A and B are shown apart, each in its own frame.
Chain A
Amino acid sequence: MKVPPGVSASDFAEAIKQFEEAVGKEWVFTSDEDVAMYRDAYSPFMGEPEERVASAAVAPDGMEQVQKVVRIANRYKIPIYPVSTGKNLGYGGSAPVLSGSVVLDLKRMNRILEVNEANAYALVEPGVSYFDLYRYIQEKGLKLWVDVPDPGWGSPIGNALDRGGGYLMPQYRNHFDSHCGMEVVLANGEVLRTGMGALPGAQTWQQYKSGFGPWIDGMFSQSNFGVVTKMGFWLMPEPDAYLSGTVVVPRHDDLIPLVRILTYLEDTRVTNGMPDLGSPLLGIPMLSDFATRFESGGTPFERPLDPELSDLIAKGGGLATSALDGYAQRKGLGYWSCKLSFYGASKANAANWEFAREKFSEIPGVRFEEGENYKLPLTPEQREKVHKPQFGIPSLAMFSIGARSAMNPEPASGHMWFSPIIPRTGEAIFEANRVFAQAAKEFGLPFLSFNLPSTYWERAFIFIFAFPVTRDVEFNKRNRAAFNKLIQVAAEHGWGEYRTAPAFQDAIMNTYSYNNHALLHFHETVKDAIDPNGILSAGRYGIWPKHVREAKS
């Protein structure tokens, strides 16, 4: 049995014994076989000594048991690493940042404590998955939608704390922003509730977010300051109808007004679903194309370019040329497209789409394509055609991107995401492509010819690049090195990542260095004050406890 760093074998044995008394012997895992199931299945260190692995796992079944485990861990200075469902694959998984930590597996805490239809909220424990919550709502016949990320097997709490996103209206799409109230066990075993939950007998814990005084909820996301044991979420009442329409513009430079007008329409809530960018010319599909691509057995990635087009790009020195614009016009292809989604009253959706068309009409040559128009709820046939998360339906379909297919006969065994936030302008999209294409060439990365950003957040774009993870150690080493270089390249241009896997958390936290790392120093001050033994998730998001910092220096 592996022993946590800095802990004697006898102390660890005693702690394990006490964990068993706290949660029951069958819920403490110490055998190699059981502990191996807590490895990060997508670890970029798989098979290398640097792989971060657990020493044991403890699975409590309730907040009181979490308190007991935390107190025992404090007594013996055992590092523990809470995970909810452990499905943060590509950004971490279930393995600790500090090798040898004991994973605090919260999966057994899977109670849906309340779903309120009239006020559209839920209160859940960390082991509840999106599938669980969706099924519960369906079984009860409630007219509520859950904003789900692409993989539906994750935990609403875990995903929100890692600051994940989804696809519905903007106020739900940012999962941390859509939470309302937390219950947190601190490192000393004390439990607190945030927001209105601090008021005994509060009747509005899930209805008013900030309560009274400093609003500290953000401190428990992407951090290691407490173990969140309950969390409320605002759900989306099922709308009357869904409408989509696609805007197609003919020239390269039209991306700039396309984004500008889109941003205005989104910020004024004329369009309220996640916008979906694509390029008919370059074969870059929109997200909503994926479902139909999968159905037809095609690749979700960009299509191979017509040789004539490849030639034009190569000879003309890039994508912003009149020759390319001419080619697009000749072939009847738009250069860029953007699908708009509207959730709401059927007549209002039609009026909003009409207004959007008016606004986009300032772009010469723009054309519009009518899309889906569904009265909700969807029929079973309609459900099979759509990108399910855009209708609050959890799915695992997005894993088809990396799965074996005719176009991908030798799939990778995982992936890691490089996800910098860039400004929400067309100019920034061009600039980021220029910078990352140059970096990709330099570092030998097979990026697409052009990348369009994801539009989860209202006020910024995210570029999301997938790095494959394989069982080839040398390949993974090269990709880790390239990933680290991209972090630096992005930071030099004022772009920072929104989330990352443990392998890169220190490197990225180091780029958020304004005023000599003042923000990190604040995190460390808080960490030392509320977790003096440094037992909780040491190293998570670059925040290390004092004893580790001192040992490193």
Chain B
Amino acid sequence: MRHLAKAHEKGDGMKNATVGLLAALSLMLASTAFAAPDQEQIERGHKVYDKWCFPCHGTGVGKPGTDSLVARGQKPAVLEERTDLTVPAIKTFVRHGVLFMPMFRKTEVSDADLDAIAAYLTRNNKP
């Protein structure tokens, strides 16, 4: 989570609080065993990701989310290729937004869809 904190060094108190929360959740999660999501959930997450996340975070030209992470030095920059994303971090970014990425509401991405996205993006994480 260090890079996250770094990205927000110039943020205000509210944002720093968010980062702190994220870090705490991340640490909590890292020390907690969790069951691997089932394949059906991952496939559902892939579909939801393609609809809602890929236009900004996918591969190819003109993907501002990916470009932004490249500029920050994130490797890999494409979210689908990451193995270090945590479920709470994914949910926080989707529901709260970050920088020019707005928050996504439950009428857009339901809680169940968000669970599926999280399952998809953490599918390659080491337990």
> Which residues of A come within 8 Å of B, CB atoms?
27, 29, 33-34, 36-39, 41-42, 47, 57, 59, 85-87, 89, 93-94, 105, 107-108, 127, 131, 152-153, 291, 294-295, 384-385, 388, 394-397, 399-400, 402-406, 408-415, 471-472
Name the CB-closest residue of A to B58: A396
Partner of A294, one of B62, B104, B108: B62
Contact A384 B61 (CB under 8 A): yes
Contact A294 B67 (CB under 8 A): yes
Contacts of A27 in B (CB 8 A): 107
Partner of B107, one of A47, A89, A105, A384: A105
| Complex CA–CA separation, A153 to B71 (angstroms) | 24
User: Which size bracket describes the interface of B in this complex?
Assistant: 20 to 34
Partner of B95, one of A37, A153, A408, A410: A37
Q: Which 3 A-B pairs have the closest CB atoms?
A: A397-B62, A41-B102, A107-B107
Contacts of B95 in A (CB 8 A): 33, 37
Contacts of B107 in A (CB 8 A): 27, 59, 105, 107-108, 127
> Which residues of B come within 8 Å of A, CB atoms?
10-12, 14-15, 51, 55-56, 60-65, 67-68, 71-72, 95-97, 99-108
Contact A403 B68 (CB under 8 A): yes
Contact A42 B102 (CB under 8 A): yes
Contact A400 B64 (CB under 8 A): yes
Interface centre among A29, A399, A406 (most CB of B within 10 A): A399
Contacts of A471 in B (CB 8 A): 11-12, 14-15
Contacts of A415 in B (CB 8 A): 100
Q: How far is the CB of A64 from chain B (nearest CB, A)?
A: 18
Contacts of B14 in A (CB 8 A): 47, 471
Give 13 A-B pairs besides A41-B101, A105-B105, A385-B61 with Cβ atoms closer than 8 angstroms.
Answer: A27-B107, A34-B106, A36-B103, A42-B100, A47-B14, A94-B105, A403-B64, A404-B67, A404-B71, A404-B99, A414-B100, A471-B15, A472-B12
Contacts of B102 in A (CB 8 A): 41-42, 87, 89, 93
Contact A397 B61 (CB under 8 A): yes
Contact B103 A405 (CB under 8 A): no
Contact A413 B100 (CB under 8 A): yes
| Complex CA–CA separation, A193 to B61 (angstroms) | 42
Contacts of B64 in A (CB 8 A): 396-397, 399-400, 403
Contacts of B63 in A (CB 8 A): 396-397
Name the CB-closest residue of B to A472: B12
Contact A152-B11, Cβ < 8 Å, known A38-B105, A403-B64, A403-B67 = no
Contacts of B51 in A (CB 8 A): 131
| Complex CA–CA separation, A295 to B63 (angstroms) | 10
Name the CB-closest residue of B to A295: B61
Q: How far is the CB of B106 from chain A (nearest CB, A)?
A: 7
- Name 7 interchain pairs, CB-CB below 8 A, sorted by A: A37-B104, A41-B101, A107-B108, A108-B107, A385-B61, A396-B64, A403-B67
Q: How far is the CB of B25 from chain A (nearest CB, A)?
A: 15
